[in-house]
Amino acid sequence: MRILTARFVVPVTTPVIERGALLLRDGHIRALGSLETIAGTAPTGTPIEDLGDAALLPGFVNPHTHLELTAYHGVLPRAPLWEWFNTLLPSRLTPGAADRELASLRRGAQMSLDAGVTLIGDISRCGITASALGESPIRRICFVELISGASAPPSNIAELESMSADTEQSHGGDRCVIGVTPHAPYTVTPTDLRASVQLATRRRCPLTMHLLETIEERDWLHGRPGFLATFLRDRGLTCADHQPDSPSALLKAAGFDEFPALFAHVNYDDAETTSLIAKAGSSVVYCPRAHAWFGHEGHPWRALLQAGVNVCVGTDSLASNDSLSILDELRFLAMRHPDVNAGELLSMGTSRSAHALGVAPFAGRLEPGAWADVCAIPCVAKSTNQVVDEIIRGAAQPARTWVAGADVSMPDGL
The residue among 278, 363, 349, 364 whose CA lies nearest residue 313 is: 349
Q: Are 118 and 375 in contact (CB under 8 A)?
A: yes
Quote the pLDDT of residue 209: 98
The whole-angstrom separation of Cα 375 and Cα 396 is: 12
Quote the pLDDT of residue 134: 92
The residue among 294, 324, 398 whose CA lies nearest residue 66 is: 324
Quote the pLDDT of residue 414: 54
Q: Is the pTM of this model over 0.75?
A: yes
Task: Encode pLDDT of 328-347 as tens digits.
Answer: 999 999 999 999 999 999 99
- Residue ranges, the chain, pLDDT below 70: 240, 410-414
Quote the pLDDT of residue 125: 80
The whole-angstrom separation of Cα 413 and Cα 52 is: 13
Q: Are 234 and 242 in contact (CB under 8 A)?
A: no
Neighbours of 30 (CB within 10 A): 17
The whole-angstrom separation of Cα 244 and Cα 102 is: 36
Quote the pLDDT of residue 241: 72
The residue among 414, 372, 373 whose CA lies nearest residue 397 is: 414
Quote the pLDDT of residue 411: 58
Kindly give the pairing relationship between strand 17-25 and strand 28-34.
antiparallel
Quote the pLDDT of residue 28: 98
Quote the pLDDT of residue 412: 55
Q: Are 29 and 372 in contact (CB under 8 A)?
A: yes
Quote the pLDDT of residue 158: 97
Task: Encode pLDDT of 288-323 as tens digits.
Answer: 999 999 999 899 999 999 999 999 999 999 999 999
Burial of 313 (0-12, 13-18, 19+ CB in 10 A): buried
Domains of the chain, CATH where assigned: 2-58+365-407 (2.30.40.10), 60-356 (3.20.20.140)
Quote the pLDDT of residue 240: 66
The whole-angstrom separation of Cα 150 and Cα 163 is: 15
Task: Encode pLDDT of 251-288 as tens digits.
Answer: 999 999 999 999 999 999 889 999 999 999 999 999 99
Q: Are 17 and 384 in contact (CB under 8 A)?
A: yes
